[in-house]
Structure 1
């Protein structure tokens, strides 16, 4: 698949504070990319740079093969955006918004927008000021996709959506990517990212500390093994095994967190009166927290 979004050494400084540092990123057509990070990590700065709302201190952004600094207007015509601080025209109905954005984009076909509004159960005849937070968010999503963009940049797109609307939006997003669309989205709901993203990037203090498929992150993440023995055992034998980060003993039960292959750990346990062993695969939230507290890059 072709690269839709490409950044190199992308940096944004605010005085002495570096909000984003040397970001190298490639996102391809047909891909959903989840951008993760705690508050202040640089996610919103990245999104604003991609939308040309702010300019980088240094570095490059290439969209659709062209430098954003050369012609941002042409690039943005091919993009959709759901901002984290969505603002609508309170006196306009949903239908009015669709027609306004269609005129601004010179894209009169509203078929995609109306179909998506129906899927999300959004009433386009109501004024924006009459809409709940969830329905306002639905309208923001519909506006982002109404012109069939090649790239969508989404900041907390499912915020406020009810569970059924979230499921429908996730299904639509996967269909969009399967048809060749490209999406970069930020979300604090990590279970949402795990459901829809092909790859994720983790930002900490403005730096990209991880960039991989979720399956690859899980393969190298800390996992927890629980050993049950016929009688209490000496937990020190587990602490000496390579890759073991934490050992907790509670009577005849020993829990270990381990990075990498677990064969040696299982062999140590097998030499003891082992009754049972279970392995808990890490989810994306656990992986993310390991990075945030400093273990993810071990």
Structure 2
């Protein structure tokens, strides 16, 4: 297992370097007008030239890349162009906010999807059809529209939850719960719709295997077959879906954080793209890639723990 994890870590590091390199040349190749955008329409050519030199974007691309990569390898992602402070400090403030929302959404999605998927697979009939219908409707609803409707209903009309803002868990657990309830609900609905159908399919496939028929013929209770055998074999597929949904939720957080004015990575990405703060965009990309790599490694470890076939491989 240690050798497998080291191999996965090496692959993840190689992926991080390749993706960050590609992203660097893509985003830094379009910095000709960055100084003009930062200074505004009334800036003179001399001011634009001075800021361009100050930012270092008038140097050859390979020189800029070598300097950035050298700093990145030591944890220094440079300084933001439009916000005081280093990129690393900005990410350190923003990343926990996004992870708290996305992490909560993943937990909620996993629990609700498991209940809905297992119920649809085991009961079948009208329950299966109803769950599938609700899943299709939930998948079709845009999360930003749902977020706006939730704000109108629960924040503006009923005044039960805050419409915008974020409170850290360490500051106030109840305040944090109130702040993330609406964003998590808006973010997770489509994921539940998709994941529940995947869980349903995996459970149905597991229950149709020959060993299940053998266990039933031997008189083993249905609950024991489901929870001790079928779910264990269906879990790898469900975990794979969960990792994919986690990545999708990271992308969806950009829109949801803008809707609810949450100071996370998603809101930072949109704002940095608008003002042209390229170092911050690069930092966000690196942080996202690291998070995705770590999540996939955790999923692999859990898969190996619940599935002996993976351990043998």
Q: Which structure has more RCO (C-alpha within 8 Å, separation ≥ 6)?
A: 2
Establish whether TM, by shorter chain, passes 0.5: no
**Structure with a larger share of its residues in helix:** 2
TM superposition score normalised by structure 1: 0.21
TM superposition score normalised by structure 2: 0.21
